[in-house]
Amino acid sequence: MKIMSAIGLKLFPLRSRHVLPGFRLSLGFTLFYLTSLVLIPLLALVIRPMELGPSGFWAAISTPRVLASLRLSFGMALAAAVIDSFFGVIIAWVLVRYRFPGKGFLDAVIDLPFALPTAVAGIALSTLYAPNGWIGSVLAEYGIRVAYTPYGVLVAMVFISLPFTVRTVQPVMAELGLEVEEAAATLGATRLQTLARVVLPMLWPAVLTGMAMAFARAAGEYGSIIFIAGNIPAVSEIAPLLIITKLEQYDYAGAAAIGVVMLAASFVMLLALNGLQSWAAKRR
Amino acid sequence: MKKRFLKPTEDPLWLRLFLGAVAIAFIAILLLLPLALVFKEAFANGIGAFWTAIKEPDTLASVRLSLIAAGIAVPLNMVFGIAAAWCITKYDFPGKTFLVTLIDLPFSVSPVVAGLIYVLVFGAQGWFGRSLADNNIHILFAVPGIVLATIFVTFPFVARELIPLMADQGRDEEEAAATLGATGFQTFLRVTLPNIKWGLLYGVLLCNARALGEFGAVSVVSGHIRGVTNTMPLHVQLLYDNYDYPGAFTVAALLAMLALLTLALKSLLEWRYADELAAAHRH
């Protein structure tokens, strides 16, 4: 019997769901778990601000304080993503192309912001950049204040988003063929010209993808920022903190309205990422 | 004198030194200095003071709560990750790409929004708030809420590790086992599991680190009741806001040690089982 069915399979290769058992069970559990824990609660977020009506929704998110917090979160996230992309490319290049002692350690340390709880990063950065801290005291001599200003927000965002840029660019760099660089060199290009006009253009899709991921993470970040930001309304108060403030005032709809704006922004980012990836696939 | 010529694909020495110095300085200042500060502050008064601060009852309670939250969230997300990867990689059905996008969704949601959505569902003015209060069931500002928020933020870790890995391995081995008469459970246990065990461990490791360290989402649903609903990261904030800096940095150092252990195990897995993990890290 078994031999017969094995022969049958060979003659008529079945690529149907019947070959392996467990389709209904695994898909059913996946959909149930996803719907009950993620989709229904997210639906609550989208539905809640509707009780405000369109004008009420607009009124809730267009107050100067809310607008300032959104501008701070997204503006600083963009700046952090650009800074991280710049240094991320350099770090990835050093890790992929150069050989030096301690490289493995340096490579592993890149993921520290992923592994270190954000609250720990928050109090460490805050102490470090405070006017009497290790870095803050040096900067204070030049009249620069970081902690308890919008620049504190930037420092925290640069910290937590760095791995995204390095880890997106690194594998792409590792798979670059050396032939094009050799070709550029034989055609008389200097090494810097080769790097700027041959290597860097091949990296753009990965750099932009990493930048988008870093931006998305930084815009939504909360834990590492609130300790160093000082949280002055309309100056150094980030959007996620304002959501919590509204919740503590039992303004659920107002909190949800800001949440919807942030969710919409991350959707746009997700779409942009997908677009970037198909663009990169086409270029390959 | 023999002059060593550069290969055309090598950077000149000055450039190597310059870029190397920039990279190392950036990592040292941005990443290593905060880490060093945590340990310096935690052990400023000696190892004895460190132990005394840890043995403080509220601190121990926060450690216990964090372990409970991770202990529930990680196994659940592990089972989900295996089920999701199994149905996505072993069968063809419409809407698969969309399902993968939905699974990744929690990663692109701000942690605070992740907490907020459970307040909107279970809070006093939420969907089920009234009926929960009538039946004296506490989800928000209690352990279940903390577990839910932890599940949400660690939701995709195992699934996104296993999906590319199992997609790469194909279905041939499982189909062979099935045609030879193995049950589905036997096939999974004897054929699939040995193939994915290191990838699974890798995903669980990252999932666990995030579960123990989550702050934003848990902060929204916890209520910050000292010794009752404070996880370790929340306890760090409470101590810090009360100007108990040695205490805050002691708990922070405990969490930092955990992070370093995670990084070490992660590097070990990447180095030792590079081939078995390759599919998930190639894209």
- Give the ipTM of the model, two decimals please: 0.87
The per-residue pLDDT for B278 is 65
The per-residue pLDDT for A7 is 46
Which tokens is A271 given?
Answer: 């779409």
The per-residue pLDDT for B92 is 86
Inter-chain CB proximity A159 and B34 less than 8 Å? yes
Q: How far is A27 from chain B (nearest CA, A)?
A: 6
Which tokens is A59 given?
Answer: 């009124």
Q: Distance between CA atoms of A265 and A268, rounded to whole angstroms?
A: 5
Best of B116, B190, B205, B268 to disrupt the A interface by mutation (most A CBs within 10 Å)? B116
Inter-chain CB proximity A112 and B35 less than 8 Å? yes
Contacts of residues A201-208 at CB distance under 8 Å and 24 or more positions apart, as own/partner, are A202/A172, A202/A176, A203/A89, A203/A169, A203/A172, A203/A173, A205/A172, A205/A276, A205/A277, A205/A279, A205/A280, A205/A283, A206/A168, A206/A169, A206/A172, A206/A173, A206/A280, A207/A85, A207/A88, A207/A89, A207/A165, A207/A168, A207/A169, A208/A276
Residue A104 CB contacts under 8 Å (≥ 6 apart), including other chains? B267
> Across the A/B interface, how many CB contacts are shorter than 8 Å?
291
Nearest to A66 by CA among A49, A80, A46, A50: A49
The per-residue pLDDT for B280 is 59
Q: Please, are residues B256 and B236 in contact by the beta-carbon 8 Å criterion?
A: no
Q: Distance between CA atoms of A172 and B193, rounded to whole angstroms?
A: 30
Q: Is the CB of A3 inside 8 Å of chain B's CB atoms?
A: no
Inter-chain CB proximity A108 and B110 less than 8 Å? no
- Domain boundary assignment for chain A: 73-236+268-282
Q: How far is A3 from chain B (nearest CA, A)?
A: 9
**In whole angstroms, how far apart are CA B266 and each of A105, B107, B197, B206?**
12, 20, 14, 8
Identity of residue B43: F
Residues of chain B above pLDDT 70, percent: 96
pLDDT string in tens for chain A (284-residue length): 444 444 444 444 444 445 788 888 889 999 999 998 999 988 988 888 888 888 888 988 889 999 999 999 999 999 999 999 999 999 999 999 888 898 889 998 999 999 999 999 999 999 999 888 899 888 888 988 888 889 999 999 999 999 999 999 998 888 887 888 888 888 888 888 888 888 888 888 889 889 988 998 999 999 999 999 888 887 889 999 999 998 888 888 888 999 999 988 888 887 887 787 777 777 65
Inter-chain CB proximity B236 and A119 less than 8 Å? yes
Rg of chain A over CA atoms, in angstroms? 25
Inter-chain CB proximity B87 and A26 less than 8 Å? yes
Q: What is the pLDDT of residues A73-128, one digit of tens each?
A: 999 999 999 999 999 999 999 999 888 898 889 998 999 999 999 999 999 999 99
Inter-chain CB proximity B216 and A222 less than 8 Å? yes
Alpha carbons within 13 angstroms on the beta-carbon side of residue A19 total 21
Q: How far is A192 from chain B (nearest CA, A)?
A: 8
Inter-chain CB proximity A262 and B106 less than 8 Å? no
The per-residue pLDDT for B33 is 93
Superfamily of domain A73-236+268-282, CATH level 4: MetI-like (1.10.3720.10)
DSSP state of A197: I
The per-residue pLDDT for A284 is 59
| Contact residues, chain A, for B9 at CB < 8 Å | 178, 181-182, 185
Q: How far is A157 from chain B (nearest CA, A)?
A: 11
| Contact residues, chain A, for B237 at CB < 8 Å | 119, 123, 227
Q: Is the CB of A247 inside 8 Å of chain B's CB atoms?
A: yes
Best of A20, A135, A191 to disrupt the B interface by mutation (most B CBs within 10 Å)? A20
Q: Is the CB of A272 inside 8 Å of chain B's CB atoms?
A: no
The per-residue pLDDT for A18 is 53
In chain A, the residue whose alpha carbon lies closest to the alpha carbon of B233 is A119
The per-residue pLDDT for A136 is 86
Query: Residues 114 to 153 of A: which have CB under 8 A from any B CB?
Result: 114-121, 123-125, 127-128, 134-135
Inter-chain CB proximity B109 and A48 less than 8 Å? no
Q: Is A130 helix (H, G, I), strand (E, B) or coil?
A: coil
Inter-chain CB proximity B120 and A256 less than 8 Å? yes
* Nearest-CB residue to A127 (from B23, B37, B151): B37
Q: What is the mean pLDDT of chain B?
A: 87
Q: Distance between CA atoms of B280 and B203, rounded to whole angstroms?
A: 10
Nearest to B55 by CA among B255, B251, B257: B251
Q: How far is B46 from chain A (nearest CA, A)?
A: 19
Q: Is the CB of A98 inside 8 Å of chain B's CB atoms?
A: yes
In chain B, the residue whose alpha carbon lies closest to the alpha carbon of A6 is B179
Q: How far is B172 from chain A (nearest CA, A)?
A: 10
Inter-chain CB proximity B83 and A244 less than 8 Å? no
Q: How far is B198 from chain A (nearest CA, A)?
A: 18
Q: What is the pLDDT of residues B218-232, one digit of tens each?
A: 999 988 777 778 899
The per-residue pLDDT for B281 is 61
The per-residue pLDDT for A10 is 47
The per-residue pLDDT for B217 is 92
∠ at Cα A146 (A129, A67), nearest 5°? 130
The per-residue pLDDT for A59 is 86
Lookup result for tokens 């949400």: B152
Best of A16, A116, A157, A276 to disrupt the B interface by mutation (most B CBs within 10 Å)? A116
Is the pLDDT score of B282 beyond 70? Answer: no
Q: How far is A76 from chain B (nearest CA, A)?
A: 15
